[in-house]
């Protein structure tokens, strides 16, 4: 069965959260990989560093598709000398127009020291209003938890907020586990 266009970008089987807070940007993801109702792996690393460790990406979607998009983002970063925004725009343009890329089902949350972006194959490059982004099956749960923690526990670090948000999402979403992987960068914001 083919997905309708409006259904693209709704990924089951992972949760990724990104928080920019107190001079850091942190990205966390769970380790669960599911096929249908079965868990086939508990410890997949869905958080990657790119371009000499200056960019952190969290990937959601079909594994091969997400890895292919990460490779393409790395190529764009190299082509544009690490200009993250330009690389994201060029990747998104190719993702929508290239025959081989346009059917890839994935969403990236990516950040450098200055900017956080959600990048998708439907042409979206979104910068958050409140320095928090999330995607995947448990993304809304993690997003709500992170926003609440930022409001009610502002002394927590970006890393702590990501971890706690992921733990909350894992308690609610059956496609998310508590095997959490996290990376962070110093931020200028």
Identify whether 63 is a catalytic site residue.
no
The residue behind tokens 């409140």 is 130
Long-range contacts at 148-151 (CB < 8 A, ≥ 24 apart): 150/19, 150/21
CA distance 180 to 160: 12
Cβ(70)–Cβ(57) below 8 Å: yes
| Residue of 14, 15, 135, 176 with catalytic role | 14
Sheet holding 180-186, edge to edge: 132-136, 15-21, 24-30, 180-186
Task: Return the active site residues.
Answer: 14
């Amino acid at each position: 069965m083919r997905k309708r266009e409006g259904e693209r970008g709704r990924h089951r089987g992972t949760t990724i959260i990104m928080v920019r807070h107190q001079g850091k940007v942190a990205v966390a993801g769970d380790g669960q990989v599911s096929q249908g109702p079965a868990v086939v792996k508990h410890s997949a690393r869905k958080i990657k560093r790119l371009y000499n460790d200056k960019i952190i990406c969290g990937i959601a979607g079909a594994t091969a598709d997400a890895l292919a998009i990460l490779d393409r983002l790395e190529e764009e970063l190299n082509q544009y000398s690490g200009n993250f925004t330009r690389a994201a725009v060029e990747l998104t343009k190719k993702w929508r127009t290239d025959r081989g890329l346009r059917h890839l089902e994935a969403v990236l949350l990516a950040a450098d020291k200055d900017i956080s972006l959600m990048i998708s194959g439907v042409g979206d490059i979104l910068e958050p209003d409140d320095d928090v982004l999330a995607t995947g099956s448990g993304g809304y749960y993690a997003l709500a938890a992170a926003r609440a923690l930022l409001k009610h526990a502002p002394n927590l670090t970006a890393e702590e907020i990501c971890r706690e948000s992921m733990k909350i999402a894992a308690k609610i979403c059956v496609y998310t586990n508590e095997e959490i992987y996290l990376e962070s960068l110093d931020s200028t914001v």
